[in-house]
Amino acid sequence: MAWFTRQQPARQPGAPSEEEHRVKTEGLWVKCDNCRQIIWRKALDDNYQVCPKCSFHFKIDAAARLRMLFDEGKWEEFDRELVSTDPLEFVDQKAYRDRLAAMRKATSLKDALISAVGLLNGRRVHICSLELKFIGGSMGAVMGEKITRAIERCIDQRMPLVIVSASGGARMQEAAVSLMQMAKISAALMRLDEAKISFISVLTDPTTGGVTASFAMLGDINIGEPGALIGFAGPRVIEQTIRQKLPEGFQRSEFLVQHGFLDAVVPRTELKSYIARALEFFCGPVK
């Protein structure tokens, strides 16, 4: 009898079916987007979502970044209840109010940023972490207000500020209201600088548009994650505009540090210790 007509052997009593086996093992393995190798999910989690085979950095959410940076993964959140008022009553494929409601349900956040205070290697710091899953981490009035309040809190309490960016830029549904946040945050950062309080900017994949054109590039030290796309317009838009082929690796963090747009490219596994050393340089030892 041909092999393809053979009957499957009878399943032993108590043995799991093929479907049951698939359900139990589903999600235990992940394929790397870069090297295409299969990775055990626990090994990926233990390595801060960095591929142990090729060092590709997977995208992580805002809360995961805070857990990675704060001691014992503990923090106090501020301004959580701020929400957009939809000033333009904007509608594209769906009403902006409906889009916000869907994002709040999907992410359990009110907007695209978590503003938190905690200890980083024993030093009290304020960290603002952007959430890419919330309308592409876009910057609207709520983000502008939360970052500005964070800056004012840092000035009042003489506390360093860290912002971890992951964003497609200004939020089009808020139009000029969103663009105003660029000037608002930049002016607040000037007051922070005048108060001689440190600001460290961490740029992850992607950091683009109005976020790059404002606070993300204004740090006392600007740090990029490996392979992060960082720029104003995207590479395809630039190529179509200037009608030229861009250099290899253009707008990636390694290219930018070579050309003086970033101060350092730091792997995620070393980021906390790097920020701690930078703050010790700027602020002195932890008291």
pLDDT at 238 over 80: yes
pLDDT at 26: 64
pLDDT tens digits, 207-232: 999 999 999 999 999 999 999 999 99
pLDDT tens digits, 165-203: 999 999 999 999 999 999 999 999 999 999 999 999 999
Q: How far is 80 from 104, CA to CA, in rounded Å?
A: 12
pLDDT tens digits, 113-157: 999 999 999 999 999 999 999 999 999 999 999 999 999 999 999
Indicate the range of 1-5, 65-69, 108-112, 262-266 predicted with least confidence.
Answer: 1-5
pLDDT at 247 over 90: yes
- Other Cβ atoms closer than 10 A to 229: 18
Placement of tokens 């060092």 in the chain: 55
Report the percent of the chain where pLDDT is more than 70.
91
Q: Compute the CA torsion angle 124, 125, 131, 134 (nearest 10 deg).
A: 90
- Other Cβ atoms closer than 10 A to 72: 8
Indicate the range of 18-32, 44-58, 241-255 predicted with least confidence.
Answer: 18-32
pLDDT at 163 over 50: yes
pLDDT at 248 over 50: yes
How would residue 260 be classed by pLDDT, with cut points 50, 70 and 90?
Answer: very high
pLDDT at 24 over 90: no
pLDDT at 3 over 60: no
Q: If you write DSSP's letter for every residue of 53-72 in order, what string do you get? A: TT--B----HHHHHHHHSGG
pLDDT at 21: 46
pLDDT at 254: 97
Angle of helix 141-157 versus helix 175-194 axis, rounded to 10: 10
pLDDT at 16: 58
CB-based contact 209:198 (threshold 8 Å)? no
How would residue 34 be classed by pLDDT, with cut points 50, 70 and 90?
Answer: very high
* Sequence ranges of the domains in the chain: 20-58, 60-283
pLDDT at 8: 56
Closest CA to 164 of 150, 179, 181: 150
pLDDT at 9 over 80: no
pLDDT at 1: 47
pLDDT tens digits, 39-84: 999 999 999 999 999 999 999 999 999 999 999 999 999 999 999 9
pLDDT at 12: 60
pLDDT at 87: 87
CATH class of segment(s) 60-283: alpha beta
Q: How far is 218 from 209, CA to CA, in rounded Å?
A: 14
pLDDT at 14: 59
Long-range contacts of 149-153 (CB under 8 A, 24+ apart): 149/78, 149/79, 149/115, 150/78, 150/79, 150/115, 150/126, 151/185, 151/188, 151/189, 151/191, 151/192, 152/188, 153/78, 153/117, 153/126
pLDDT at 213: 97
CB-based contact 121:71 (threshold 8 Å)? yes
pLDDT at 23: 47
